[in-house]
Structure 1
Amino acid sequence: MASIRRRGDRWQCRVTRHGFPPETKSFATKAEAETWARSIEVAMDRGTHQNRASVERTSLADILARYAEEVSPGKKGAKDEAIRLNALRANKLGKYALANLSAAAVAKFRDERLRAVSAATVLRDLALLSSVLNHARREWGFPVENAVQSIRKPRQPQGRERVLSDDEEARLLTASAPVGRRSPWLQPIIILALETAMRRGELLALRWEHVSLDKRTALLPDTKNGTRRLVPLSPRAIDTLRHLPRSIDGSVFPISAPALHLRFKLACKRAGIDELRLHDLRHTATTRLSEKLPNLAELSAVTGHKSLQMLKRYYHPNAERLADRLAAAVA
């Protein structure tokens, strides 16, 4: 039952019911307290009541911090996710109590972000926020609704279709040659990326103990998809690896991701190549490998794509070459 009493200039309501923890809340008027008490009692009678105290005193920033500490470290992209979580915490959205995190508040966050960053970035922010809210509800027991599921999402942008041409490849390799103070690792990484379709993280994690030049394979024990993959090495890839200096720590490419990003950007500038990212080399490699491995199962085994839909995002055939193959088939 409910008990209501005056405390100073507020009305305190306390609802007690067998089988439920006591619920207490203060209101400006006695009528508000009575209305709230009735709603709590009805919810208890129906078995739908949930204690709201935890979501009223816990902010979104609080659970973002907890997620960063307890959940993110076990993920593949922990470092990148930590940066995104910190940005969400710093945003004014993080100041909302979970009880007040409405769809309107998240929609406003979406619109403000869209004015500053791309739709793809906003989609990643919303996906992470949705994961955090779902985890808070399922694993930590917070009675919070996932407001992200109620809002309109930005349209998924068209996937990148940037493929390196033969001329651009020649210029890029010249610009990345280890001359003077240039890194000895950049050009070999570019060649390996084009020959194997390995991801940046896979290349940087590659170790000599997992490379067999005799068997012409490179083992990736822990990929982005969480499975190991044995990558076949082309003659060009093997020749590149044979001429690499050996690092004392066993890494094939002892260079950090930020340093690689900077050196690749500078090499593109020297080569006069615009709008090229290191990940575009994976698109290029997948497209080239598809001409040598028309069997999709074999191609996906090399590239590590788990679905045909994802594989298609990385396959960008040349229309003229397809026309030549059609003409050859008719002849």
Structure 2
Amino acid sequence: MATITARKNKDGEIIGWQAKIRRLGFPVQSATKDSKKAAEDWAKVIESEMIRGVYVDRSKAERTTFRETVETYIRDVATTHKGGRDEGLRLTRFLRDESKLAAHSLATLSTRLFEEYRDRRLKSVTAGTVKRELGLLHTVIESVRKSHGMIENPISDVRRPTVRDARDTRLQPGEEEKLLQHCRDARNPWLTPAVILALETALRRSELLALRWDCVDLDRLHAHIPDSKTGKGRHIPLSPRAYEVLWQLGTEARPTDGAVIGTTAEGLKQAFERARSRAKMEHFNFHDLRHEATSRLFERGWNIMEVASVTGHQDLQMLKRYTNLRASDLAKKMG
């Protein structure tokens, strides 16, 4: 039988209830709960598992806070990922804004706690953002679940919010030149070539910034992307407009690290947001340039395999999300 004792502070006030289990063949197990009933319930579960031979030592999970787990993930795991910087920023925000949730031990994390987190976040950010955050937090817990004696991941049973974020944003007549004009007025000289190349190649922003001159072959009119988001490399054909931009960049001073676009992700992001604001196009994101470029390839008569070889999409459903064809252009094909 478990021993349940009250834990008191120096003033004699009860601050918790400790359950301690001593059973032959098992290490001593103890846990402190907020109420006597919670301590008794915990003890019943542990003793039942011992009797049934399915007991898992949770002591490590009880000693480790969620904050410690997240901090370890940021330091040791996220740094090995391509998107590790973004993961680190998201998790750092989580620790800053969710200090109470982060203070829980791994053993006391529950589905209800993360459902409450989901509902709080949905009041200030989109469903897609919340879904991605829950996925990342699930990955964090999963990275230590077995080693810390956690039988289940509490986020596994959290219902994810429905995401309806398929975008149909296309550049309307006159908008491309208007946007580029304000890009040319930007202090960041890399903004205009980056926007044009995004429109001509359908490259992601991260791929543009990772592109090196030793991967650009102007004679053969292609650029090699050795490592993309999908983990596979691909060759990108260069249009006359893309060739012109790259040729011009190649004749100017190149960054010492060999990058084609010599700015940072944050620098490019801020410059683009200021330019679109001046152009009164706040609805248009940098990633929409990839949508636009993909749709233009289809409108030029490219088949799906040809487009996928450029964009790097692995399946039709994903490619469909990035493709928005103008009805007027499709009508021309109807004779």
TM-score bin, normalised by smaller chain: 0.7 to 0.9
Write the distance in 2 (CA, Å) between the matches of 1:28 and 1:141.
22
Write the distance in 2 (CA, Å) between the matches of 1:30 and 1:279.
54
Residue 80 of structure 2 corresponds to which residue in structure 1? 74
Say which is worse superposed, 44-53 or 252-261, in terms of deviation.
Answer: 44-53
Total equivalences in the alignment:
322
Structure 1 counterpart of 2:142, from 115, 130, 134: 134
Write the distance in 2 (CA, Å) between the matches of 1:28 and 1:191.
60
How high is the sequence identity, in percent, across the aligned residues?
39
Post-superposition Cα deviations, 1:142-194, rounded to whole Å, max 9, x if no partner, equal 315322222222111221221112411111222222x5x73322111111110
* AA of the residue aligned to 2:48: V
* AA of the residue aligned to 1:89: L
Look up the SS of the partner of 2:283 in the other structure: coil
Residue 86 of structure 1 corresponds to which residue in structure 2? 92
Is residue 171 of structure 1 aligned with residue 155 of structure 2?
no
Structure with bigger helix share is 1
Structure 1 counterpart of 2:163, from 149, 156, 169: 156
Write the distance in 1 (CA, Å) between the matches of 2:281 and 2:4.
75
Look up the SS of the partner of 2:223 in the other structure: strand
* AA of the residue aligned to 2:217: S
Is the Cα–Cα contact under 8 Å of residues 209 and 262 in structure 2 kept in the other structure?
A: yes
* AA of the residue aligned to 2:158: I
Aligned-pair distance for 1:291? 2.3
Residue 224 of structure 1 corresponds to which residue in structure 2? 229
Write the distance in 2 (CA, Å) between the matches of 1:6 and 1:183.
66
Write the distance in 1 (CA, Å) between the matches of 2:254 and 2:72.
38
Say which is worse superposed, 250-259 or 150-159, in terms of deviation.
Answer: 150-159
- What's the RMSD between the two structures over aligned residues? 2.7
Say which is worse superposed, 53-62 or 22-31, in terms of deviation.
Answer: 22-31
Write the distance in 2 (CA, Å) between the matches of 1:113 and 1:257.
26
Is the Cα–Cα contact under 8 Å of residues 22 and 28 in structure 2 kept in the other structure?
A: yes
Write the distance in 2 (CA, Å) between the matches of 1:43 and 1:211.
61
Is the Cα–Cα contact under 8 Å of residues 229 and 304 in structure 1 kept in the other structure?
A: yes
Post-superposition Cα deviations, 1:92-119, rounded to whole Å, max 9, x if no partner, equal 2111222221111111111111112221
Residue 191 of structure 1 corresponds to which residue in structure 2? 196
* AA of the residue aligned to 1:44: M
Post-superposition Cα deviations, 1:288-323, rounded to whole Å, max 9, x if no partner, equal 011235321111010111111110000001011111
Mapping for residues 35-114 of structure 1, pairs under 5 Å: 39-90=45-96, 91=98, 92-114=100-122
Structure 2 counterpart of 1:210, from 203, 208, 215: 215
Post-superposition Cα deviations, 1:52-95, rounded to whole Å, max 9, x if no partner, equal 22222222111111111221111111111001111222312111
Sort the Cα spacing of 1:8 and 1:219 in 2 relative to 1 into closer, same or farther, 3 A: closer
Aligned-pair distance for 1:35? 7.6
Is the Cα–Cα contact under 8 Å of residues 194 and 285 in structure 1 kept in the other structure?
A: yes
Is the Cα–Cα contact under 8 Å of residues 20 and 28 in structure 2 kept in the other structure?
A: no
Residue 304 of structure 1 corresponds to which residue in structure 2? 312
For structure 2, the 5+ residue unaligned runs are 9-16
Residue 268 of structure 1 corresponds to which residue in structure 2? 276
Q: Output the TM-score relative to the length of structure 2.
A: 0.87
Aligned-pair distance for 1:6? 7.7
Look up the SS of the partner of 1:76 in the other structure: coil
Post-superposition Cα deviations, 1:214-249, rounded to whole Å, max 9, x if no partner, equal 010111111111111111111110011111123141
Residue 13 of structure 2 corresponds to which residue in structure 1? none
Q: Output the TM-score relative to the length of structure 1.
A: 0.88
* AA of the residue aligned to 1:64: V
Is residue 252 of structure 1 aligned with residue 260 of structure 2?
yes
Aligned-pair distance for 1:22? 3.0
Look up the SS of the partner of 1:169 in the other structure: helix
Is the Cα–Cα contact under 8 Å of residues 21 and 29 in structure 2 kept in the other structure?
A: yes
Residue 248 of structure 2 corresponds to which residue in structure 1? 243
Sort the Cα spacing of 1:141 and 1:296 in 2 relative to 1 into closer, same or farther, 3 A: same
Look up the SS of the partner of 2:152 in the other structure: coil
Structure 2 counterpart of 1:314, from 322, 325, 330: 322
Sort the Cα spacing of 1:23 and 1:297 in 2 relative to 1 into closer, same or farther, 3 A: same
Say which is worse superposed, 8-17 or 277-286, in terms of deviation.
Answer: 8-17
Aligned-pair distance for 1:36? 6.3
Sort the Cα spacing of 1:75 and 1:293 in 2 relative to 1 into closer, same or farther, 3 A: farther
